[in-house]
Amino acid sequence: MVTIQAVAVVLSLLLAAPAATARSDHGSARSESASTRTEPAPMQSVEPTDSPQPQPAAFARCLAELQPRAAARGVPAQAYAGYTQPVLPDPSVLELLNAQPEFTTPIWDYLAGLVDEDRIEDGQRLLQEHRELLQRVEQAYGVDPATVVAVWGVESDYGRIFGKRPLLVSLATLSCAGRRQDFFRGEFIATLALLQAGDIRDPGLTGSWAGAFGHTQFMPTTYARVAVDFDGDGRRDLVDSIPDALASTANYLKRAGWRTGEAWGFEVTLPPGFDVGSVGRTNRRPLSDWLSRGVKRVDAAANTNTKPAMPPADTRAAVLLPAGKAGPAFLVFRNYDAIYAYNAAESYALAIALLSDRLRGASGLAAAWPTDDPGLGRRERRELQTLLLARGHAIGEVDGLIGTNTRRAIQAEQQRLGLQPADGRAGRRILQALRAEATASPAPAATP
Ligand code: CA
């Protein structure tokens, strides 16, 4: 089998930001890896930095130079002109490409936003709604329904959030200016080839600033390589066809080495004196080795349908400590790597893995994250934003996304209330403080 890692190892990728909580305003270069797309790191917010602007003449010259490459991929000159003539460069994508981290998001905030009640309830409903389809996908690719739906939920909030930037504009700009032109030229040409082949039909198609789009948020080259036509209409359509999108997600995981019927991993406890130098996703040992060191499943005593089977003793396994020794610990197997390949970030892979467990009916983590100020789900984030609006902060619409304006408003409230640290973080403590205040004396707008 040709693995995704082998196919994509030549690509130096930036890191993708799963889901709406991280996608709109983040950006940071990350390591070389095989993944579905190129985008910002999920754990960081960013502030744009200055970038050189593409000049109109140079932009036109650049597009003319790319035309033969598109022709070699089946896009005739006349069609190329039709696709590219309306395209003007968008300097704002270059700002995102070069953006520097402004905030670092703790993993408990990241997971609280992605594995929240809304996403669990929606996912469970969609598992029922698409039950027959998901069974056929499982038969064809060997990937179980909960995993496929969890990827869908984290990638696009089950098809709600595709990104708002015109793909051809972003990719043409990034192909002709900035520091990753070679990479983005491949994505630009792949997009044109998908349009010309009829897989996608709308040249005004939108996606993330870096070019990920559709239900699965694949980059165009990943789309070209991995997407499948599962509804049989002759087109691989990951924008308007849920069957194509879910089957393509399963196909991606299969090609990344998915093992049918095996768990991604599970939460464990570590024995006293455990050597933390032995942890990390790439530090693999036989499962029996970890068990003999005293690593134990937290659900060892449970006897439910949701409890995954223990793999064979010689299965290669790694221990993860995403927040250090004081937080939850996990033992992970090959399927965790397959999920990781989708986006090359530990936090991202863990969000999908934990969401898939919740969709199967499992309860949340046994161990607490090492914080006395836990993270908020999107309902609570919206409540926090509503309270900030009521106090007169101009933070825009209540959308559950914690952007720069919301953070500044939180910071101002933290300072007013004497909460430390006044870091602008949307945590439980500031929510409870504002909630208590609003209950005790409603804001003027809410007073009769
Ligand atoms: Ca189709």
- 157-214 pLDDT, tens digit per residue, is 999 999 999 999 999 999 999 999 999 999 999 999 999 999 999 999 999 999 999 9
Name the more confident of 99 and 219.
219
pLDDT in the model for residue 43: 55
Query: 217 near 36, Cβ under 8 Å?
Result: yes
**Residue 259 vs residues 219, 255, 281, 405: alpha-carbon distances, Å:** 24, 10, 17, 44
pLDDT in the model for residue 344: 85
pLDDT in the model for residue 36: 60
What is the 240 CA–ligand 1 centroid distance (Å)?
Answer: 9
The stretch 307-324 carries a mean pLDDT of 93
Average pLDDT along the chain = 87
In this prediction, what percent of the chain has a pLDDT beyond 70?
Answer: 84
The stretch 109-129 carries a mean pLDDT of 97
What is the 337 CA–ligand 1 centroid distance (Å)?
Answer: 28
Query: 216 near 245, Cβ under 8 Å?
Result: yes
Distance CA(259)–CA(360), nearest Å, equals: 18
Q: Which helix (H) or strand (E) holds 379?
A: helix 378-390
Q: What is the pTM of this model?
A: 0.86
The stretch 422-433 carries a mean pLDDT of 96
Distance CA(444)–CA(426), nearest Å, equals: 24
Domain residue spans of the chain = 4-54+88-255, 265-332, 378-446
What is the 194 CA–ligand 1 centroid distance (Å)?
Answer: 13
pLDDT in the model for residue 48: 54
**Confidence check: pLDDT of 139 > 50:** yes
The stretch 334-343 carries a mean pLDDT of 94
What is the 227 CA–ligand 1 centroid distance (Å)?
Answer: 10
In this prediction, what percent of the chain has a pLDDT beyond 90?
Answer: 78
Tokens of 356: 């898939």
Tokens of 84: 């590219």
pLDDT in the model for residue 299: 82
Tokens of 317: 């396994």
- In whole angstroms, what separates CA 56 from the centre of its chain? 34
What is the 165 CA–ligand 1 centroid distance (Å)?
Answer: 24
Tokens of 183: 């990479």
Q: Which helix (H) or strand (E) holds 285?
A: strand 285-286
What is the 314 CA–ligand 1 centroid distance (Å)?
Answer: 40
What is the 231 CA–ligand 1 centroid distance (Å)?
Answer: 5
DSSP per-residue codes, 304-369: STTSPPPPPTT-EEEEE-TT-TTS-EEEE-HHHHHHHHHH--HHHHHHHHHHHHHHTT----SSPP
Reported confidence tier of residue 301, pLDDT bands at 50, 70, 90 = low
pLDDT in the model for residue 445: 54
List, for residues 348-377, the tens digit of each pLDDT value.
999 999 999 999 999 899 999 999 999 999
Phi and psi torsions of 161, nearest 5° = -125, 105
The stretch 387-413 carries a mean pLDDT of 94
What is the 353 CA–ligand 1 centroid distance (Å)?
Answer: 27
pLDDT in the model for residue 30: 30
Tokens of 278: 């032995």
